[in-house]
Amino acid sequence: MSAALLDRFPEVDPRDPAAILAAARAAIDGRIVFTTSFGLEDQVITHLIAEAGLTIDIATIDTGRLFAETYEVWARTEERYGLRIRSVHPDAEDLSALLATQGVNGFYDSVAARKSCCDTRKVVPLGHLLAGAVAWVTGLRADQSGSRAEVSPWSRDETRGLLKVSPLAAWSRAEAVAFADGHDVPRNTLHAQGFLSIGCAPCTRAVAPGEPERAGRWWWEEEAGGECGLHVTADGRLVRAAARPEIPA
């Protein structure tokens, strides 16, 4: 795409997620995929996409180990917005090989084992979801954790060759909660029980008052609240902001 087109993106208010999504859809030719895990931020984005009627695919990764409450809000979301959310799942042979190697709960044994499980259940299926896409919409917020502090609405995912759009990057959790309250956005009931960031059931716990938002993720590891691999580069770094992201044609 031309430099003139790239110049359009910084003009969008970074605190206006609806405008960010609309600008992305207007400027980008080709398929845009939003991947949801049905957490607070993702539910806000689903609402914005559905209410605006944007042609952005909404999809999810069903790891096979999600909370029952996640499936419940999945169903309520489809009913609320009159849509079907596409799902992908771990490859059966890959999953069988993983379990044969580390056992059903072997991810607790080491960081390497946990990352292997995340790779099989999340990262590889994500590749299937994003195949043929030009841009990827995510629910990342800059204040979710220290490792995400530099997240911006526009970045370049070099690993996948995609524009990465994070429309809530500049929002706080309180702002997302207020929006959901004001727009009847379906929410996972686990949020009210202290589960601020929700992933797979065996890898997520509620957080105590004062703990970081993502402290409940992979809580048994020395550095709790890390990343599963969806948003990191091959060398383990979180994908950072790009001042002028190169948008693939």
**H/E segment holding residue 60:** strand 57-61
Catalytic positions, written as ranges? 228
Query: Are 244 and 153 spatial neighbours (Cβ–Cβ below 8 Å)?
Result: no
DSSP reduced 3-state for 95: helix
**CA separation for the pair 37, 147 (Å, rounded):** 19
**H/E segment holding residue 182:** helix 173-182
**Residue of 165, 163, 161 lying closest to 152 (CA atoms):** 165
**CA separation for the pair 37, 26 (Å, rounded):** 25
